[in-house]
């Protein structure tokens, strides 16, 4: 497989940096081709703006998603965006690795999504979920966090991890067409022993070594929804985000 | 009340810009004091880095949250961060207004959270939820979106809006101690009529005029959770994120 790792951490000597190196080594050892976008090292600009386009369809007022669509059709993205789009379209698997900040990505990675997941290629004109631009590829979220696992269980202080990551795993990655694998998490990193850290690195390497055989989490195909965008009668909710509907109906 | 509006939109002449102006007018007319952080206009830097601190506790390797704690105790934040912290601490109500991009904030606003919601003032050392640094204040999310309302119902294509916003409304704003009001949304903005846009502006002005009397969405106090960070036996899940647990247990 061609694997793209997008990495966002302000400190290369962090445990996150070790996890990146160990994961990359495991993927290469398993015969995969690897591309890494280390956003902090690249000085990646996360702020979407008019500068992102070399020509405009509507020059008077910036409608960002419409200009993305125009730029997709006319090859009119700034060089930094085009380089990331090329990596994204070439990959069979995308790994987003980051420290969990406020139950989401650091801003530098959110900006990578904002600017690189473009209308006209990744989404738009009916491209989403099983018709998404990244259909047939897989994606995984890999986090380091100060949380303890119990905090992000169903009845935990923060509710389930996959509810916290819903906007990213479902609203972004699945929306774009990726099959989304279960996330990898290294917990309460500030308070772990060196032994536990070594164990996380071993676990991550083992997981990535066998990642080609993993199946995505359950997701609804578009045909499960009616013209009102709601699940059709008789379709049982299959995702952690939709199951709430089941509870509501009881 | 002192109201802080944090606004993130790349185009000042957008409908989002009109919503900002109309909302600000309504709040001023109701006698509130207003502060606006227009992040694009300010050229706000969203990328958390070592430059955010004027002195360091651990100069060898950046541990961002630990340096925030140190900087909170020693007044050692960069000027741009300190200015936003001052506005945040002075406010009785925080409004985050943005176009919904990938079911979250634009990167420039995520970076405002990453850099301004600092350890040692907003969270950390037990500060969270009803013991959070922003305890006693209220917050509201105000979005413009290309979505149709049916898409973000419980059984909608994307699952419920509050599940998509969970990381922000619960994991960020409630975590910081804010009482979180129901979000305001202006739907499918690209495809609305001028009349519908005018109606959204009127609705928003009316909502903000009466906002002081609104009550926050249900939230669990810390005492509802045991030492294992899970809801204590007999405590019924009260939030949309936790209710999933109820369904699971049946």
Given a contact cutoff of 8 angstroms between Cβ atoms, the answer to whether B230 and A153 are in contact is yes
Tell me phi and psi for residue B126, to 5 degrees.
85, -10
Q: Chain B, 57-96: which have a CB under 8 Å from a chain A CB? A: 61-66
Residue range A44-64: mean pLDDT, rounded: 97
Residue range A156-162: mean pLDDT, rounded: 96
If asked whether residues A10 and A22 sit together in one domain, one would say: yes
What pLDDT was estimated at residue B188?
87
| B232 inside 8 A of chain A by CB | no
Residue A181: name the closest of A165, A160, A157, A199 by CA.
Answer: A165
- Taking CB atoms and an 8 Å cutoff, what residues of chain B touch A159? 166, 170, 239, 241-242, 244-245
**What share of chain A has pLDDT > 70, as a percent?**
97
- The answer on pLDDT for A188 being more than 90 is no
- Taking CB atoms and an 8 Å cutoff, what residues of chain A touch B241? 158-160, 163
- The answer on pLDDT for A14 being more than 70 is yes
- Cβ-based neighbours of A210, under 8 Å, separated by 6 or more: none
> How many inter-chain contacts (A to B, CB under 8 Å) are there?
228
If asked whether residues B9 and B104 sit together in one domain, one would say: yes
- Taking CB atoms and an 8 Å cutoff, what residues of chain B touch A52? none
If asked whether residues A210 and A135 sit together in one domain, one would say: yes
- The answer on pLDDT for A169 being more than 80 is yes
Tokens in use for B34?
Answer: 């207003």
Tally Cβ neighbours within 10 Å of residue A58: 10
- What's the domain count of chain A? 2
If asked whether residues B39 and B6 sit together in one domain, one would say: yes
* Ranges under pLDDT 70 in chain B: 244-250
- The answer on pLDDT for A158 being more than 80 is yes
If asked whether residues A214 and A244 sit together in one domain, one would say: no
Residue A250 pLDDT level (bands cut at 50, 70, 90): very low
Distance separating alpha carbons of residues B34 and B30, to the nearest angstrom: 11
Tokens in use for B242?
Answer: 């936790």
Distance separating alpha carbons of residues A141 and A147, to the nearest angstrom: 16
Report the CATH number at residue A137: 3.40.50.360
| Range of the structural domain that residue B110 is part of | 2-217
Contacts 24+ apart (CB under 8 A), B54-61: B54/B78, B61/A11, B61/A13, B61/A14
- The answer on pLDDT for A245 being more than 60 is no
B101: nearest CB among A114, A220, A246: A114
Residue A7: name the closest of A87, A90, A121, A102 by CA.
Answer: A87
Residue range A193-216: mean pLDDT, rounded: 96
If asked whether residues A134 and A240 sit together in one domain, one would say: no
If asked whether residues B189 and B228 sit together in one domain, one would say: no
Number of Cα atoms under 13 Å in the Cβ half of residue A13: 6
Distance separating alpha carbons of residues B234 and B231, to the nearest angstrom: 8
What pLDDT was estimated at residue A222?
98
What pLDDT was estimated at residue A191?
83
- The answer on pLDDT for A88 being more than 80 is yes
| B148 inside 8 A of chain A by CB | yes
Residue range A158-170: mean pLDDT, rounded: 97
- Taking CB atoms and an 8 Å cutoff, what residues of chain A touch B223? none
Given a contact cutoff of 8 angstroms between Cβ atoms, the answer to whether A150 and B230 are in contact is yes
Q: Report the range of poorest mean pLDDT among A129-143, A165-179, A194-208, A231-245.
A: A231-245
**Strand-strand pairing, B33-38 and B184-186:** unpaired
What pLDDT was estimated at residue B248?
54
Element holding B143 (H helix, E strand): strand B138-144
If asked whether residues B9 and B46 sit together in one domain, one would say: yes
Least Cα separation, residue B31 to chain A (angstroms)? 33
- The answer on pLDDT for A246 being more than 60 is no
A244: nearest CB among B107, B160, B250: B160
If asked whether residues B15 and B48 sit together in one domain, one would say: yes
If asked whether residues B168 and B247 sit together in one domain, one would say: no
Distance separating alpha carbons of residues B194 and B199, to the nearest angstrom: 9
If asked whether residues A236 and A187 sit together in one domain, one would say: no
If asked whether residues A187 and A243 sit together in one domain, one would say: no
């Amino acid at each position: 497989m061609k694997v793209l790792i997008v990495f966002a951490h302000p400190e290369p000597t962090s445990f996150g940096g070790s996890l990146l190196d160990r994961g990359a080594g495991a993927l290469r050892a398993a015969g995969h081709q690897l591309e890494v976008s280390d956003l902090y090292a690249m000085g990646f600009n996360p702020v979407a703006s008019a500068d992102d386009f070399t020509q405009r369809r509507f020059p008077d007022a910036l409608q960002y998603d419409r200009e993305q669509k125009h730029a997709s059709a006319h090859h009119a993205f700034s060089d930094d965006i085009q380089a990331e789009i090329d990596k994204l379209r070439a990959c069979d698997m995308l790994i987003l690795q980051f420290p969990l900040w406020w139950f989401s990505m650091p801003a530098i990675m959110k900006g990578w999504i904002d600017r690189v997941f473009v209308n006209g290629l990744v989404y738009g004109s009916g491209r989403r979920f099983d018709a998404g631009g990244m259909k047939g590829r897989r994606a995984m979220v890999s986090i380091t966090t100060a949380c303890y696992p119990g905090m992000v269980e169903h009845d935990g202080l923060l509710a389930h991890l996959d509810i916290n990551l819903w906007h990213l795993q479902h609203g972004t990655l699945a929306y774009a067409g990726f099959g989304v694998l279960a996330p990898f998490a290294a917990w309460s990193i500030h308070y772990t022993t060196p032994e536990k850290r070594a164990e996380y690195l071993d676990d991550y390497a083992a997981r990535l070594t066998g990642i080609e055989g993993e199946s995505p989490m359950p997701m609804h195909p578009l045909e499960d929804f009616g013209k009102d965008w709601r699940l059709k009668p008789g379709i049982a909710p299959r995702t952690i985000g939709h199951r709430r509907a089941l509870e509501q109906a009881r």
